[in-house]
């Protein structure tokens, strides 16, 4: 992710070859996978398979594709990736299709790359912006961040059935909003500096604009979409928010650039108190902290805290199982967040550990005051499980 010594970085935008979204889209999976490969391996855990299996089988049958389905565990660990890659070789698959949440999709991308197959993302929730990218995040057995793995191309197909997204528990959509709100905050910081992006170059105006569009859609549509999904309804707001969480945030983070918020998320995964929280919940703590760290206008931070409280995202340490007094834990988080190679170094200024620790400790009092002033509920403590 660093520029060559002799040349300025090349502006780069990358994307999946095809993105398809709509209610009932899963019924078209076979038809859209067929041009990518003729011998697919589908990876989905038993719970996901119980509600998509019939539709996938029908669509594969109609497209004349054989169906082989493998299960999946919990995290995209190096071992999980290796075992899927082994199965791709065993089955002789030319395309591997990940169906489910961010973890199975990340594992399938990494396995497809290792085994020399193409890969397809079929998110059944809109909880992260993982599905569209040409990278995977690898975790350890406890869900701790291990590494980013980068691939030479994005998925050939990303297919999202908004009916499935609306039928899933609303907490997944809320998490996706947290992940997607960070995209503009981070892309904006990268564009201000001379940072490089996850696409391996300088940001294009296009990548940065897509991050901004994701933000604008979420401020307008996130609350009505969350209400609709709570009742398992697909409305135009739901369609827009699913696209913002999945496609726009995916293109925006990858080609617009990550900065402090995701580095702070990665640091937080090492604090056992945060276990059991979603990616998007931890990312939102990173977003608030980044806004503080960069000295964003107070009105802007205040509005962000109010909005994310209404969305149902954490913006205090209490809500992620920590307190401002946990200085040792927060120092460890800050050390990991500022490790060599972390995206925090794409910020337009150098971030030092003590500054990050103070920013993290400050969000408790700030967010509590904002919430009290706005008549919003007090934070509920998170208990790790």
DSSP string, 4-63: PSSSPPPB-----S-EEEETTGGGGHHHHHTTT-SSEEEE--HHHHHHHHHHHHHHHHHT
Does 179 carry a binding-site annotation? Answer: yes
Nearer to Zn ion, 179 or 364 (CB): 179
User: Residue 6, class by beta-carbon neighbours within 10 Å (0-12 exposed, 13-18 middle, 19+ buried)?
Assistant: exposed
Give the shortest CB-222-to-Zn ion separation in angstroms: 16
Nearer to Zn ion, 221 or 279 (CB): 279
Nearest C-alpha neighbor of 256 from the set 8, 11, 18? 11
Nearer to Zn ion, 179 or 294 (CB): 179
CB of 189 closer than 8 Å to CB of 47 = no
Binding mask 233-252 for Zn ion (x = CB under 5 A): --------------------
Does 125 carry a binding-site annotation? Answer: yes
CA–CA distance, 114 with 69 (Å, rounded to integer): 19
Nearer to Zn ion, 131 or 312 (CB): 131
SS (H, E, C) 135-195: EEEEECCCCCEEEEEECCCCCCEEEEEHHHHHHCCHHHHHHHHHHHHHHHHHHHHHHHCCC
Nearer to Zn ion, 30 or 280 (CB): 280
Q: Is 293 helix (H, G, I), strand (E, B) or coil?
A: helix
Does 380 carry a binding-site annotation? Answer: no
**Closest-CB residue for Zn ion?**
179
Give the shortest CB-128-to-Zn ion separation in angstroms: 6
In angstroms, the Cα distances linking 273 to 44, 61, 208, 338, 384 are 29, 46, 34, 20, 5
Does 367 carry a binding-site annotation? Answer: no
CA–CA distance, 195 with 342 (Å, rounded to integer): 12
Give the shortest CB-173-to-Zn ion separation in angstroms: 15
CB of 333 closer than 8 Å to CB of 264 = yes
**Any idea which residues carry the catalytic annotation?**
179, 262, 265, 279
Does 127 carry a binding-site annotation? Answer: yes
Residues 6+ apart with CB under 8 A from 204: 11, 12, 13, 255
Give the shortest CB-102-to-Zn ion separation in angstroms: 8
329 interacts with Zn ion by CB under 5 A: no
Does 83 carry a binding-site annotation? Answer: no
Binding mask 266-285 for Zn ion (x = CB under 5 A): --------------------
Residue with tokens 């003590």: 354
Binding mask 55-84 for Zn ion (x = CB under 5 A): ------------------------------
Nearer to Zn ion, 156 or 179 (CB): 179
Does 102 carry a binding-site annotation? Answer: yes
Residues 161-190 interacting with Zn ion (rule: CB under 5 A): 179
Sequence ranges of the binding site for glycerol: 129, 179, 262, 279
Sequence ranges of the binding site: 45, 102-106, 124-127, 129, 133, 135, 139, 179, 262, 279
Sequence ranges of the binding site for NAD(+): 45, 102-106, 124-127, 133, 135, 139
- Contacts with Zn ion by CB under 5 A lie at 179
């Amino acid at each position: 992710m660093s520029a060559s010594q002799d040349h300025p970085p090349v502006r780069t935008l990358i994307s999946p070859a095809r993105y398809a979204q709509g209610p009932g889209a899963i019924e078209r999976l076979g038809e859209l996978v067929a041009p990518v490969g003729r011998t697919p391996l589908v990876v989905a855990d038993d719970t996901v398979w119980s509600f998509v299996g019939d539709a996938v089988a029908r669509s594969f049958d109609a497209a004349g594709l054989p169906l082989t389905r493998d299960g999946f565990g919990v995290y995209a660990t190096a071992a999980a990736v290796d075992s899927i890659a082994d199965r791709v070789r065993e089955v002789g698959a030319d395309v591997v299709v990940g169906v489910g949440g961010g973890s199975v999709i990340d594992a399938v991308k990494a396995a497809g790359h290792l085994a020399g197959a193409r890969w397809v993302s079929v998110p059944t929730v809109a909880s992260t912006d993982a599905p569209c990218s040409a990278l995977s995040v690898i975790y350890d057995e406890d869900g701790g961040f291990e590494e980013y793995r980068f691939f030479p191309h994005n998925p050939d197909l990303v297919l999202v059935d908004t009916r499935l997204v609306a039928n899933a528990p609303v907490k997944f959509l809320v998490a996706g909003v947290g992940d997607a709100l960070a995209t503009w905050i981070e892309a904006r910081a990268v564009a201000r500096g001379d940072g490089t992006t996850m696409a391996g170059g300088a940001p294009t105006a296009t990548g940065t604009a897509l991050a901004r569009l994701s933000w604008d859609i979420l401020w307008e549509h996130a609350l009505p979409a969350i209400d609709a999904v709570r009742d398992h309804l697909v409305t135009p707001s739901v369609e827009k928010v699913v696209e913002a969480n999945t496609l726009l945030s995916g293109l925006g983070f990858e080609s617009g650039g990550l900065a402090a918020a995701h580095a702070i998320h990665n640091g937080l995964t090492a604090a056992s108190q945060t276990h059991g929280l979603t990616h998007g919940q931890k990312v939102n703590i990173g977003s608030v902290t980044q806004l503080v760290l960069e000295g964003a206008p107070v009105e802007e931070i205040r509005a962000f805290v109010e909005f994310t409280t209404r969305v149902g995202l954490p913006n205090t340490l209490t809500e992620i199982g920590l307190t401002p007094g946990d200085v040792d834990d927060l120092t460890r988080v800050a050390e990991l967040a500022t490790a060599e190679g972390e995206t925090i170094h794409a910020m337009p200024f150098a971030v030092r550990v003590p500054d990050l620790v103070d920013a993290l400790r400050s969000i408790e009092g700030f967010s509590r005051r904002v919430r009290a002033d706005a008549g919003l509920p007090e934070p509920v403590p998170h208990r790790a499980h």
